Amino acid sequence: MLGLFDGDHYCIYDSRVGTTLKTLRNNGEKLILAPSGRGRRGDNCPKDKRAVYYERLIWVLEVIRDQLNLEGHPFSIADIEMALFMMGK
């Protein structure tokens, strides 16, 4: 709901976006867990940790957005999420 409400600050986190980002690691630990979806196995993420991983996702997308904005590409968080969705076949 947040992603639909405010695409400048939030995104829709589905299995295709998760598939694209699930290889990101910090000190060997996955930064973002991928949710499961149609024909996709997700990572086992306890319900009480889902907000933490969504927050991490937003942080990663903000970093990507900010870098692209500095390079003259006026993308929003929703634009970045849509591109990741298309990459996560």
Higher pLDDT pick, 30 / 6: 30
Residue 3 has pLDDT above 60, yes or no: no
pLDDT reported for residue 49: 83
Residue 15's domain comprises: 2-87
Average pLDDT estimate for 48-66? 89
Answer whether 0.85 is exceeded by the pTM. no
Average pLDDT estimate for 5-30? 81
Instruction: Report which secondary-structure segment, H or E, holds 29.
Output: strand 29-30
**45-64: burial string, b at 16+ Cβ within 10 Å, e else:** beeeeeeebbebbbebbeeb
Number of domains in the chain: 1
Helix or strand or coil: residue 55?
A: helix
Residue 76 has pLDDT above 80, yes or no: yes
pLDDT reported for residue 64: 92
**Averaged pLDDT of the chain:** 84
